[in-house]
Structure 1
Amino acid sequence: MAKSEEQEKLPTSKIARASQFLKGGLRVGANVVKHQAKKLLGKEVSQDDLDRENAEDLLKTFTQLRGSALKVAQTISLDTINFSKSFVEVMQNAQYSVPPMSGPMVVQVFKRSIGQPPEKVFDKFNIHAIRAASLGQVHEAWKDGKKLAVKIQYPGVAESIQSDMKIFRALAPRITKIPLEELEPYIQEMEEKFLEEADYRKELANSLAFKELCKDIPYLRFPEYYPELCGDKVLTMEWLDGLHLREYLASNPPYEEKQRFGQYIWDFYNFQIHKLRQVNADPHPGNFLFRSDGTLGVIDFGCTKLIPDDLYKAYFALGDPKVYEPKNRKRLDELFEKLAIYRPTDTPEEREYVRDLFSRFAQVLATPYRLGRMDFRETEYFEKLNAVGEEIARTRQLRGLRDFLFLNRTFLGLFNLFHQLGVELDTRCEYLPYYDYSHLKASAS
């Protein structure tokens, strides 16, 4: 990255970061006032226009703050249920829009974490970042003839997470129009995840453990890690060549290659969810490298989320078409109660509405599994998904256990990735016995 784009100073104090958040909140407020004024004057304006303008202003703020603020943007970019389509589209730029730290700041953070400056540790070190992300940035380095990737955390990130999230709690209801008490479990989950991701020693241990679990998958390529060159703010690993999704698509790859990579990602996530019962806690496209040798590079898998057995059984039971038959109403109600989709305060009328709404959502979400072969290029499916998602968003409630919300976000993020790839995939799942794929076997023979 060019030196002129580097950021010399990051807001690290609580006051400085609160000030940036406040500015972002004020811009959102001003946008709402302008939106209402235009409506009063009879001008054509839409909620979509307002959402996009708010998202663009907030992304500027989040990008300057980085750390947990930018992680919030990345989380929103996967959530098409609780945020509008235009809001999500803007937030998807979060991973591509970060200006890197300046050279002196890089050296300072590295020396504090490792005890020596990078030029004393490596044979060669590129002071200019190759990639910048939410919590840190990546530099090239060379040692003993090997090319390495050195991830260096932005200063003040770990220390500011809890104070940042306190400020976000005040801002979030204005962005989402959802009361804070509804958002609290969602925000709490984000905070816990961000704190874990900011601990690079824990990320190292998690990455090594996850790599071992996946060692027999031939199409995956994990980097080698160098624990002796790692610290609380520095993570050193083998340099993996490859393209991120946006770069890969810009290279205009052949359809068969895109389809193969898409199938790898689908199979990999099903292995995580159904076999390991744990899944990457931050499922966004930046975790993958599309490599010229045909393998899929896997990076930043240092924070994984365990899927409890009772949650797994209840969640995937909603994929069984039979559970929606009238005779199985009691079973469906039991599942919705286990997943906290129903609330004790619901009236009979509310319960009926929620049953209908979330039954439609669960069945649409499970469509790829049910069909066994899914063309993610088809816009009709995403229109259905967005329509029921917008209906849920209009309730201004976050129903369901936070693990239920997390799994929804994981699948929505995956489906969006496949839509961007523009591929048709084999979506059969051997772990879900209630789907009949005999028609696919017959057509293949």
Structure 2
Amino acid sequence: MRGGVKVGARCAGRAVRVVALAVPAAVRTALTRRGRRDRRGAEELARVLERLGGAFLKAGQFLGARPDLVGETVADALGRLQDDVAPMTARQAVRAVRAALPGAPPELAAACAAPPVASGSIACVYRARVGGRAVAVKVRRPGVGDALAADMALLRGAAAAAGRLPFLRRVPLAEIAARVAQALTGQLDFAAEAANLRRLRADLADVPGVVVPDVVPELCGDGVITMEFVEGLDRGAECSLTRGERREAVTRLVRAVYRMLFVTGRVHADLHQGNVYLVRGGGVVLLDAGFVVALSASARRRFTEFFGGMIRGDGELCARALLASVRRVEPGADLGAFRRRVADLVERAEGRTAAEFDLPAFCLELFDLQRRYRLFAEPEFVFPMLCLLAAEGAVRRHHPTLDFQMEAAPYAMQGLLLSGDA
């Protein structure tokens, strides 16, 4: 009972803070002269999300990678939230390292007294040299857990309320919110993240041109992860790459995503620009394995079957995969009509390039079809969708002519062979 009261009070305090920051920002934007109002509004939004931190900052990072959804002005303003958030103090960083690693080399704590090379929603990253080797030291922010816990409680409450609306009753909002909350809160567990980073590195070792930094296990502790430092990572450096290099890098990113989705079943659901770097020679570097979700064998198999149907333009196969994955079918559901509508949706999407295919609209229509035909969708599918949506943002920016679906073919086939369904 006492714990529930504490969480409730924390949520109430969080809600008050949201209003206290958002209202003055809206007033300042409204008072700005018309020609600068859009830019000022975008900057105020970024500032509010930065000060709120937690899940609000996470949402800003995701939206900053999707100018096609929020517009270039807002995406530019939110872009700095990827890795340029106001950092923790040097004293906080040094204290965290010394508490987590009492016997660590002094160079580690000394590096944290300098400004970080990157600063995100959960942690700051510092560059150090230990034994002649350059390493990146990721240090968890103090107090970030409280803000995230309050945000997740607000998210679950909002999802529960929205789920009572008649047109959302068959959308598993409460389950989706609970799964997302669990995954986001899992980012606070740095031991799990270090293990995820090692698995991700092994999973993608066979994808040419994809780099995942190696963990230095003896320099990891509670709230601290140390890994090899990858030189030359700079979001602004993408502009200096040739068009061919950007296209090759994005193609490799898409292949890495498909290997995760269809073959390994471990999904990086946080592929914003602060965690994905396109580099010289057409390579791509993936960082931060805090928001990596392991799909169940069943969810991976059904998702792979669905995508395999899309590649072939086989709407009936897609419909069967969806029907096999749903949590529940209400009495009176018209499954024949559902199959026909899915087939029509797939047919409209077949053979389209990234520039022609609207993935967000496709996902929304897919969920709406399941709702309208009295099917309760599989909430686990939200993680592959998040991964694809983030990757699609990079594709639209740098390689809009890429055939997003056909690139999936060899990985979907491999995934089906592994599951015994090919």
The two structures have a TM-score, normalised by structure 1, of 0.70
Aligned to 1:146: 133
Residue 249 (structure 1) aligned with residue 238 (structure 2): yes
* Alignment-mate amino acid for residue 314 of structure 1: R
Counterparts in 2 of 1:353 and 1:296: CA distance versus 1, 3 Å? same
Counterparts in 2 of 1:58 and 1:31: CA distance versus 1, 3 Å? closer
Asked if 1 retains the 8 angstrom alpha-carbon contact of 2:90 and 2:112, the reply is no
| Distance (whole Å) between structure 2 residues aligned to residue 393 and residue 387 of structure 1 | 10
> 1:32-91 deviations in whole A, cap 9, x for unaligned?
99xxxxxxxxxxxxxxx99x96x87665443223234423444566799xx964699576
Give 3-state SS (helix, strand or coil) of 2:127's partner.
Answer: strand
**Shift, 1:295, TM fit:** 3.5
Aligned to 1:418: 395
Aligned to 2:275: 287
Counterparts in 2 of 1:334 and 1:344: CA distance versus 1, 3 Å? farther
The two structures have a TM-score, normalised by structure 2, of 0.73
**Shift, 1:418, TM fit:** 0.8
Aligned to 1:5: none
* Alignment-mate amino acid for residue 13 of structure 2: S
Aligned to 1:222: 212
Give 3-state SS (helix, strand or coil) of 1:127's partner.
Answer: coil
| Distance (whole Å) between structure 2 residues aligned to residue 269 and residue 230 of structure 1 | 27
**Shift, 1:112, TM fit:** 2.2
Which residue, 352, 357, 380 being the options, matches 1:381?
Answer: 357
Residue 204 (structure 1) aligned with residue 207 (structure 2): no
Give 3-state SS (helix, strand or coil) of 1:286's partner.
Answer: coil
| Distance (whole Å) between structure 2 residues aligned to residue 356 and residue 60 of structure 1 | 46
* Alignment-mate amino acid for residue 416 of structure 1: G
**Shift, 1:261, TM fit:** 0.7
Aligned to 2:57: 70
> 1:338-358 deviations in whole A, cap 9, x for unaligned?
23287416754xx67765665
Aligned to 2:16: 22
Give 3-state SS (helix, strand or coil) of 2:410's partner.
Answer: coil
Between Structure 1 and Structure 2, the one with more helix by share is 2
| Distance (whole Å) between structure 2 residues aligned to residue 411 and residue 71 of structure 1 | 17
Give 3-state SS (helix, strand or coil) of 2:145's partner.
Answer: helix
| Distance (whole Å) between structure 2 residues aligned to residue 198 and residue 273 of structure 1 | 24
Counterparts in 2 of 1:313 and 1:173: CA distance versus 1, 3 Å? closer
Aligned to 1:184: 174
> 1:311-335 deviations in whole A, cap 9, x for unaligned?
23332333425643xxx5xx66543
Aligned to 1:235: 225
Which residue, 134, 138, 155 being the options, matches 2:121?
Answer: 134
Asked if 1 retains the 8 angstrom alpha-carbon contact of 2:176 and 2:380, the reply is no
Which residue, 152, 164, 169 being the options, matches 2:156?
Answer: 169
Structure 1 residue runs of 5 or longer lacking an equivalent are: 1-12, 34-48, 435-445
> 1:146-187 deviations in whole A, cap 9, x for unaligned?
222111111022355333311233456899998698422222
> 1:218-277 deviations in whole A, cap 9, x for unaligned?
422232322222111111111101335x423333x2111111111211222222223323
Paired-residue identity, %:
20
> 1:180-224 deviations in whole A, cap 9, x for unaligned?
984222221222112322111111122123323333444222323
Q: Which moved more, 1:405-414 or 1:211-220?
A: 211-220
Give 3-state SS (helix, strand or coil) of 2:280's partner.
Answer: coil
**Shift, 1:136, TM fit:** 0.3
Which residue, 258, 264, 269 being the options, matches 1:270?
Answer: 258
| Distance (whole Å) between structure 2 residues aligned to residue 390 and residue 213 of structure 1 | 30
Counterparts in 2 of 1:183 and 1:26: CA distance versus 1, 3 Å? farther
Aligned to 2:298: 310
Give 3-state SS (helix, strand or coil) of 2:396's partner.
Answer: helix
Which residue, 318, 323, 332 being the options, matches 1:337?
Answer: 323
| Distance (whole Å) between structure 2 residues aligned to residue 27 and residue 392 of structure 1 | 36
Counterparts in 2 of 1:174 and 1:108: CA distance versus 1, 3 Å? farther
* Alignment-mate amino acid for residue 270 of structure 1: Y
| Distance (whole Å) between structure 1 residues aligned to residue 83 and residue 285 of structure 2 | 19
| Distance (whole Å) between structure 2 residues aligned to residue 16 and residue 127 of structure 1 | 33
| Distance (whole Å) between structure 1 residues aligned to residue 71 and residue 158 of structure 2 | 19
> 1:399-427 deviations in whole A, cap 9, x for unaligned?
62122222222222211111111354464
> 1:88-112 deviations in whole A, cap 9, x for unaligned?
9576664255211122222222222
| Distance (whole Å) between structure 1 residues aligned to residue 236 and residue 332 of structure 2 | 48
| Distance (whole Å) between structure 1 residues aligned to residue 255 and residue 278 of structure 2 | 16
Counterparts in 2 of 1:333 and 1:129: CA distance versus 1, 3 Å? closer
Asked if 1 retains the 8 angstrom alpha-carbon contact of 2:93 and 2:112, the reply is no
> 1:358-397 deviations in whole A, cap 9, x for unaligned?
5555556xx5xx54xx754x3x433xx4555566788996
Residue 109 (structure 1) aligned with residue 96 (structure 2): yes
| Distance (whole Å) between structure 2 residues aligned to residue 172 and residue 75 of structure 1 | 19
Aligned to 1:44: none
Counterparts in 2 of 1:314 and 1:171: CA distance versus 1, 3 Å? closer
| Distance (whole Å) between structure 1 residues aligned to residue 11 and residue 46 of structure 2 | 14
Aligned to 2:185: 195
| Distance (whole Å) between structure 2 residues aligned to residue 19 and residue 344 of structure 1 | 40
| Distance (whole Å) between structure 1 residues aligned to residue 244 and residue 181 of structure 2 | 40
Counterparts in 2 of 1:134 and 1:335: CA distance versus 1, 3 Å? same
* Alignment-mate amino acid for residue 388 of structure 2: F
